[in-house]
Amino acid sequence: MGESSGSDSEAYQRLADDVAIRNLVARFAYLADTSDVDELGGEYMAVFTEDASWGPAGHERRGCADILEGAVARRRGGELGPGTNSRHVITTQEVRFDGPDTAISDSYYLLIANTLAHPSIRGAGLYRDRLRREEGGWRIASREIIPG
């Protein structure tokens, strides 16, 4: 076996980045279901860049403080989070790189409600995530939620 070339190390890095992005998207879905109000400012918000945006067109939340405010409101309203018996399910996902430190991830999602008794699909659509590598790893710079 010869030494790895620069292109091999680039390919390994791209593969590692792809896995890291897929794990970030999956981790965020898990945190959306399991983080209580007191935990939201920590690991939940750590998936975002400081200048991130989140939400469907026309109803975006901008910046971490605004995104956090919305997450807290959804929990306090009993829509999502611990005790609501709901689950975010990420299905088909594609990751595309448009630079060494930027990527786009498109993934289908299902929001399952009433998971303890009679599960039903409460929502479905596409998450279009624009990601940026920052110190400490990949972060979501924007999440566009496209229902349907």
Q: What tens digit of pLDDT does each residue of 23-58 get?
A: 999 999 999 999 887 777 788 999 999 999 999 999
For residue 1, is it within any domain?
A: no
Quote the pTM value.
Answer: 0.90
CA 22 to chain CA centroid, nearest Å: 9
CA 119 to chain CA centroid, nearest Å: 23
Q: Which residues span the domain enclosing 76?
A: 6-147
For residue 62, is it within any domain?
A: yes
**How many structural domains are present in the chain?**
1
**Strands (DSSP E) found in 7-136:** 48-55, 61-62, 87-99, 102-113, 120-134
The CA distances from residue 80 to 27, 30, 51, in Å, are: 16, 11, 24
For residue 135, is it within any domain?
A: yes
> Tell me: the pLDDT tens digits for 85-120?
999 999 999 999 999 999 999 999 999 999 999 999
CATH code for the domain in which residue 19 is found = 3.10.450.50
Q: Tell me what pLDDT residue 79 has.
A: 87
